[in-house]
Structure formats: structure tokens, C-alpha cells
Amino acid sequence: MRIISLNAWGGKLHEPLLQYIADVDPDILCLQEVTRTISAKQDWHLYRDHDVELPQRANLFAEVGAVLLGHDAFFSPTARGELLERDEAVFSEFGLATYVRQSLPVIAQASGFVHGEFSPDGWGAHPRSRNAHCIRVFDYKRRFPLTVTQFHGLRDIAGKGDTPARHAQADAVIDLIKRVWPGHERLVVCGDFNVLPDSVTFETLGKLGLTDLVTSRGFTDTRTSHYPKDGRFADYMLANEAVGIVDFDVVAAPEVSDHRALLLDIE
């Protein structure tokens, strides 16, 4: 079984992104920073926040779904705010997307906010709301259930150091996992955590027997050349001892975002 986690960057590099997804054909795909604009008339929008401008695909959620036709798709928005379409404002949703191969039935799931709450009329003040999505699937071929949780950690303009909000976020992720995962089964947790490797987040998740595969296997960079700043850690994938790991990689090429994809093959 193949699991991929990736911050999709709003689809800024959508052509290589969609090609990569089609080529690697994941069984479970966990995407962060996904857009969905129901009223869109154009393929591209512009996100503008003070001195930040970022092109966004209008309907990245649907575009990825069109590539993964044999998958069930789940969208978990954090907010609905304004993007620019030909200098006119349109409302767009932003959040997490999870795609699951239809041969892996989703037998339980939960989604919820791990920081803040849903914002229907704007992106909100920093640090903005964040959510998580947890699914439990059954693998008929290998005869086992597996729980996979993804979340996009809050972004603090002061940096990636631990804060009370990040402590609370880690506790909220644990609470969500426990709503779905019965314990003593295979468990994977992934996403763009927006924290450093020494964060208390990993101590908290470690209470569930989870180990980070990025740092424990010697990877030192989860960003691509499209990210020019220092602080090269952002994305993580953790697994417990029940997960039979065949291979794990922090994918350096192709570059399909300013984040690298995390690819896990298990048996």
C-alpha cells in the first residue's frame, strides 16, 4: 500500500503536480493547502495578503480527483475567503483533501479543528484555523485495518517554535485520532506540521507509539528549491511499530510544490 502526504501549495505547480500524482498512483493521498471554488469562471485565482501574492488553482480538489478516478475524495475546509479573479473577488474554500482508492473501504473517519474554528467569511487573523482528517480503512488483500491521520499545523508569523497554541494543537490531534483508531493497530500520522524536529508535538504523538520517519531516517530537508528561506523542516510522517514499512522517501524530484512529497510504502 502506498501513502503520500504533500502540501500542494494551492496548485501553483499544478501540471507537474498532477503528472506526479498520476505517475505514483497512491492508494491514499493526503494533501494540504487545497482549493475549491464553486463559483469560479477561470482556472487561476490570486491570493493576496499584504506583501504576499500567490497564484492558486480555482478547483485543485476536483483536478486531483480527475486524475485519481478510482478513488473516493474527501474535502475538509478550514476557511472560505476571497481570492482575486481578474481583479474581482470570489469566495474560495481552502483546506485538506484526502483521496482513498475505492478498493480500501473507509470504515471510520473523523474530521475536526485542532486550532480555531471554521471561518466562513474570510481567512481570519494569524495564526489561522487548522483542521485534521482521520480515516480508518480496511485492506482486503492484506487483511488488516489501517488508520491514517493528516493535519496542517498552524502557521505562526513569529516562527516554528513551540507555543501554547501548538501544545494545544498536538493534544487536539491526539483526541481526534482516538475517535477513530481503536489502538494496537497500524497507525500513520502525516502532514505539514509547521514545527521544528524538537517540537513537543513529537513527544505528544509519541504517546501513541509513533516515530517520525523523516528525522529518524536521516532526512534533513522537506522543502524544494521553490522555498528560499532557512528552516528546511516542515513536513513529517509518523508510524507506529505495527506498520510494516517497505520503503520511505522524502521525494527530492520532481519538484511539484515548495514542499517535498513524503512517500511511504507498507505491507
Each residue of 128-180: pLDDT tens digit? Answer: 999 999 999 999 999 999 999 999 999 998 999 999 999 999 999 999 999 99
* pLDDT given at position 255: 98
12: containing domain: 2-266
CATH code, domain with 76: 3.60.10.10
Query: In the predicted model, what is the mean pLDDT of the chain?
Result: 97
Q: What is the pLDDT of residues 18-49, one digit of tens each?
A: 999 999 999 999 999 999 999 899 999 999 98
Which pLDDT belongs to residue 63?
98
Give tens-digit pLDDT for 225-248.
Answer: 999 998 899 999 999 999 999 999
Q: Has residue 207 got a pLDDT over 90?
A: yes
In total, how many domains does the chain have?
Answer: 1
How far, in whole angstroms, is CA 192 from its chain's centroid? 6
Share of the chain above pLDDT 70, in %: 100
